[in-house]
Amino acid sequence: MTRTVSSAALAAAGAVIALALAGCSAPAAQPIAQQEQAAEWPRTIEIPAAQGAEPRTLTLDAEPQTIAALDYESAEVIAELGLSDRLVLVPEAVLNPVLGSHVEQLAEVPNTIPVAMELDAETVIALQPDLVVMSPRHGAEASIGAVLDQAGIASLQLPSSWTNQESVTQGIALIGEATGQEPSAEKLVEALETGLAAASAAKPATDQSPRVLVLTNQAGRPFATAGQAYPLELLRLAGAQNVSEALGMPHTGPISAEQIVEADPDGIVLIDMNGSGDRMYAELLANPAVASLSAVEQQQLLRLEGKQVQAMGLTSTIDGLDALTGWVVQLK
């Protein structure tokens, strides 16, 4: 049987061909953008080596639609990149308004965990996420990551624990690449670097700079911030010395009245990590020997919320550093 094509149909076909040819000579922005976006997946991400480990690669077949974030900072970065609706698991601390900057958005996430060190891999696997993001802070992440790998679940295991600006920049960039949000990640990094540079002290700290003790109210008692911790990175940028080094404290941990008296700092920073304000510091500061220190007598105390000095605060740390720098200046 012979199929007859009408002259009207031929004319319509010709019009379609003409339009197609015109599209080749005059590029249309939207289709090309869509083609370029589609070409980005699958992608392979190069992950730098963590301490004591080898570099890794992570291959993602498609843009992740369901994400589990096992550390505070990763959850905050993902929310800042506008992807909070893709999260299926976050640490519960990001719902604390003195720590998190995206409380309302992250309150919609269906599952939370206390901290990653108390998490078993089966809990994550049961959620069947397209991507799991974690840092090495608590030590359990490596073992969880190995189980996830065996289960065929993609995991972005960040090489460092958000302890300084370099690791923050690196973490944001890797998360941006893994989620297909590189432009937004670059803007966030630029905003952080520019803001922190503007809020930093004009000159770096020296042996003559004010000596500052940084305390946090966690685990039910005051802790001294020590070792590699983001608040101490900001303290350095503010032009002050970190007293915990003189005390020989390698890691953040409990501090006694005797240690504070021994340190005799020029000023004390009180970080509120849980919304309880000064309550956990009251007994320590009321100790007669501590109360007689010049820093306490003269109220050289700076109170800051956790998000102002912790890496998870992201751009909130710019205001925190600005307050810290101004306070350090008046200690001199």
Is 15 a residue whose pLDDT tops 50? Answer: no
Residue 245, Cβ neighbours under 10 Å: how many? 14
Is 332 a residue whose pLDDT tops 80? Answer: no
Query: pTM of the predicted model, to two decimals?
Result: 0.86
Span 166-176, average pLDDT: 97
Q: Which DSSP string do the residues of 125-159 spell out, in sequence order?
A: HHH--SEEEE-SSSS-HHHHHHHHHHTT--EEE-S
Interatomic CA distance for residues 226 and 205, integer angstroms: 17
Of the candidate ranges 102-106, 113-117, 196-200, 229-233, the one whose mean pLDDT is the lowest: 113-117
Q: What is the pLDDT of residue 24?
A: 39
265 confidence band (pLDDT: 50, 70, 90): very high
For the segment 16-61, what is each residue's pLDDT rounded down to a tens digit?
Answer: 333 333 443 344 444 433 433 444 999 999 999 987 778 999 999 9
Q: What is the pLDDT of residue 140?
A: 64
Is 291 a residue whose pLDDT tops 90? Answer: yes
Q: What is the pLDDT of residue 92?
A: 94
Q: What is the pLDDT of residue 116?
A: 56
| Tokens linked to 278 | 């000064």
Q: How far is CA 129 from CA 138, 230, 323, in A?
A: 21, 29, 40
Name which residue leads in pLDDT, 6 or 221. Answer: 221
Span 262-267, average pLDDT: 97
Give yes or no for a contact between 233 and 163, defined as CB atoms under 8 angstroms apart.
yes
For the segment 111-148, what is each residue's pLDDT rounded down to a tens digit?
Answer: 999 875 567 889 999 999 999 999 987 666 677 888 99
Q: How far is CA 116 from CA 7, 20, 203, in A?
A: 70, 54, 38
Interatomic CA distance for residues 105 and 287, integer angstroms: 42
Q: What is the pLDDT of residue 14?
A: 40
Residue type, 138: H
| DSSP code, position 18 | H
Is 199 a residue whose pLDDT tops 50? Answer: yes
Q: What is the pLDDT of residue 108?
A: 98
Longest dimension (CA), the chain: 107
Q: What is the pLDDT of residue 13?
A: 37
Span 304-311, average pLDDT: 98
Q: What is the pLDDT of residue 190?
A: 98
Residue 256 CB contacts under 8 Å (≥ 6 apart), including other chains: none
Give yes or no for a contact between 237 and 196, defined as CB atoms under 8 angstroms apart.
yes
Q: What is the pLDDT of residue 284?
A: 95
Identify the structural domains of the chain with CATH numbers, from first to last: 43-198 (3.40.50.1980), 202-331 (3.40.50.1980)
